[in-house]
Amino acid sequence: MKAFGLLILITIVVAGCSGSGSQGDPRDTVIAMFGAMERNDEALLVRLLDIPELMRQTDVDYALGAGDGRTFRSPTEIVADLTGDGLTKQRWFAHQRIVGATEFTAEDQATVEVTFIDDNQRAYLTKFGLQMKNDRWQIYTFRSAGAGS
């Protein structure tokens, strides 16, 4: 199991280093986001995320197990949450992360399955929502409709 986790980590780091994941498969954008989080690359996160849309989502907290939604008052707060000692980064990186299949819901919209697995082998399935904006895929939600946890 540790070898599998290492393989996922290598995949994330290599994909994150290979570019911004801006065009092509939305899955590449999700992998690049995890790489940017790993390196605390705030500039790349700003490019990969639709931050204004993420700020509008206050009903559910996307940090695993964090409970009720949090309100982010600025783009800086969202980026800080995904880097350094941010709650979401801490929670997500405490789990094994598996980036799964891409499903296109429209020509310019897609979801990418992301499964987080804890130390007890309990899996939390999410679907990140992406949309094509300015000729690149951007993540606008970390929990699409129908994603369970």
The domains of the chain, with CATH numbers, are: 2-141 (3.10.450.50)
Cα(142)–Cα(38) distance, integer angstroms: 17
Compute the mean pLDDT over every residue in the chain, rounded to the nearest whole number.
Answer: 81
Dihedral sign, Cα of residue 8, residue 41, residue 78, residue 33: negative
Amino acid 142: pLDDT: 87
In the chain, pLDDT over 90 holds for what percent of residues? 55
In the chain, pLDDT over 70 holds for what percent of residues? 71
Closest CA to 105 of 125, 130, 142: 130
Model pTM? Answer: 0.77
Each residue's pLDDT tens digit, 115-125: 999 999 999 89
**Helix pair angle (2-17, 26-39), 10° resolution:** 100
Up-side HSE of residue 13: CA atoms within 13 Å toward CB?
Answer: 8
Amino acid 16: pLDDT: 43
DSSP 56-107: H--SB--STT--B-----SHHHHHHHTSTT-HHHHHHHTSEEEEEEEEEEET
User: If you search the block for the tokens 């897609």, which residue do you land on?
Assistant: 110
Each residue's pLDDT tens digit, 36-74: 999 999 999 999 999 999 888 766 656 655 555 566 778
Amino acid 72: pLDDT: 76
